[in-house]
Amino acid sequence: MSERKTAKRIRRHLRIRAKISGTAQKPRLAISKSNSNMIAQLIDDEKGETLAYVWTREFKGKTLRDRAVSAAQKIAELAKAKKLDKVVFDRGGFKYIGNIKVFADAAREAGLKF
């Protein structure tokens, strides 16, 4: 990724993070991605702790898109196990297209509300 692209993503992320924060009742669903993997975390920003996380590397699938859907379903299961159904979505400065959108849609279908 070029230096300029990374800088723009970081600026977007800082702008987003200035407006959103997770709590124990409504944690932040933070997404981070590379070309080959994605990581999703449920974060309670008040305590500064991660409640649950998934990594697409744990799932079988040919494409990142397939693994992103599986990861979204898994993070929704983990959230429900902790009796959470509402989250705040933090796309990490990434544009809301492609695998980020696929992940978000799959998480919504699995029962998370954001």
Using DSSP's 3-state secondary structure scheme, residue 109 falls into helix
Domains by residue range for the chain, with CATH: 3-109 (3.30.420.100)
Residue 2 DSSP code: -
pTM of the model: 0.90
Which pair of structure tokens corresponds to residue 26? 């409504």
Enter the tokens of residue 60: 């079988």
What confidence tens digit (pLDDT) does each residue in 88-113 have?
Answer: 999 999 999 999 999 999 999 999 99
Length of the chain: 114
Q: Identify the band that residue 61 occupies on the pLDDT scale cut at 50, 70 and 90.
A: confident
Q: What is the pLDDT of residues 13-24, one digit of tens each?
A: 999 999 999 999
